[in-house]
Amino acid sequence: MAEARISQDEFICPVCLDLLKDPVAVPCGHSYCKSCITDCWDQEEEKGVYSCPQCRQTFSARPSLAKNAILAEVVEKLKTKSPADCYAGSGDVRCEVCTGGKYAAVKSCLVCLSSYCESHLEQHEGLFKGKRHRLTEATGRLQEMICHDHDKLLEVFCRTEEKCICLLCVMDEHKNHDTVSAAAQRTETQKQMKETQSKIQERIQQGEKDLHQLREAVESHKCSAQTAVEDTERIFTELIRYVERSRSEVTQQIRDQEKSAVSRAEEGLERMKQEINDLRRTDKEMEQLSEIQDPVHFLQNFQTFSASPKSTNVDDNPLRFLKSFDGMRESIRQLGQKLQDFCKEELKKISASVTDPIPKTRTDFLQC
């Protein structure tokens, strides 16, 4: 069974892009050189918030850094492992001298334009001992580091045309141009890049803060809406109950008034019927009296006859109790109209209060 291959790429510091030196792990789990993460957090000291350069997780208090002994041991073994343990994988630069199974290159020579594994690097060093061959970390982009016009190493940066050139280019087509060494330009560019990165991180932190505030505002808005719905249901239910109760009371008042008036009117009707009966009886008696021919007999009977029956009192007229309900109907109609008009105006105000434009939130915090 083939042994599991360990690549140096798995132990590269994300800040300096080199093998981890004195490796430490931050609370989120990512590992860095102790000096690299210390420098990063020193720059964030004024803000009082410290972040992981990889996942951007922030820490309100500066985490303590302890050496990862196991990781440090693995890195040291990786530095001293034999070529037999260093077969090149798909992501590795292959040694250009190896035949058969290619080993992973550990260095590239900018003079020979070749990459070497540990074993062939020793041969290279022995062969060119005393000569100044420039070595760099193994890279598969050696041809991109050579001037196509002069086959010389690109080690100068032309600020005028913003491109990397060789020393012969400086004396040729880039003469009198603003030039500096590539290393110096890298330092300057890296400084600018850190400033830009710092601004981006500030924007990210502000954006996360705005996002948190927006989420809280949304939850608060939901709670407010739910409370408003519950209050609306309760208040309108109470209002409906009040209207129903008032309707019942007014209806009962109408029925009571009707009952009282009808009762008194019926009493008046009975009295009127009795009075009419009495008048008819008197009229009949008088008719019989008028038929007596004998004067004495007529006068004697007339003296015992009461011809003036008691009349009904005008104040007992039952019609005066039967008042019309038209006035009450008109009052109720006006009440209903006023209530509708009042509700319409108040509902317009309520609708306007909940449809006011919502202030825009920051959505451009990542725009650089």
pLDDT of residue 108: 85
Q: Which CATH number does the domain housing residue 50 bear? A: 3.30.40.10
Residue 335 sits in the same domain as residue 206? yes
As a whole number, mean pLDDT of residues 342-358 equals 79
In a domain, 87, yes or no: no
Which structural domain, as residue segments, surrounds residue 301? 186-348
In a domain, 247, yes or no: yes
Q: Which of 94-98, 178-182, 355-359 has the lowest average pLDDT?
A: 355-359
Last residue of a domain, one of 25, 46, 80: 80
pLDDT for 272-313, tens place per residue? 899 999 899 988 988 888 888 888 888 888 877 665 555 555
In a domain, 367, yes or no: no
In DSSP notation, 280-342 reads HHHHHHHHHHHT---HHHHHHHHHT----PPPPPGGG-GGGG---SHHHHHHHHHHHHHHHHH
* Token pair 């019989």: residue: 288
Torsion over CA: 108, 112, 117, 123 (sign): negative
pLDDT of residue 366: 39
In a domain, 124, yes or no: no
How much of the chain is helix, strand and coil, in % rounded to 5?
A: 55, 10, 35
**Is 41:35 a contact under the CB 8 Å cutoff?**
no
**Is 137:108 a contact under the CB 8 Å cutoff?**
yes
In a domain, 102, yes or no: no
Measure CA of the first residue to CA of the last residue in the chain; give whole Å: 52
**Is 34:89 a contact under the CB 8 Å cutoff?**
no
pLDDT of residue 86: 54
At 297, which helix (H) or strand (E)?
helix 295-303
In a domain, 222, yes or no: yes
Last residue of a domain, one of 80, 112, 134: 80
C-alpha R_g of the chain: 55
Which amino acid is present at 107?
Answer: K
In a domain, 153, yes or no: no
Full-model pTM: 0.44
Tally of structural domains, the chain: 2
pLDDT of residue 368: 38
Greater confidence (334 vs 82) lies with: 334
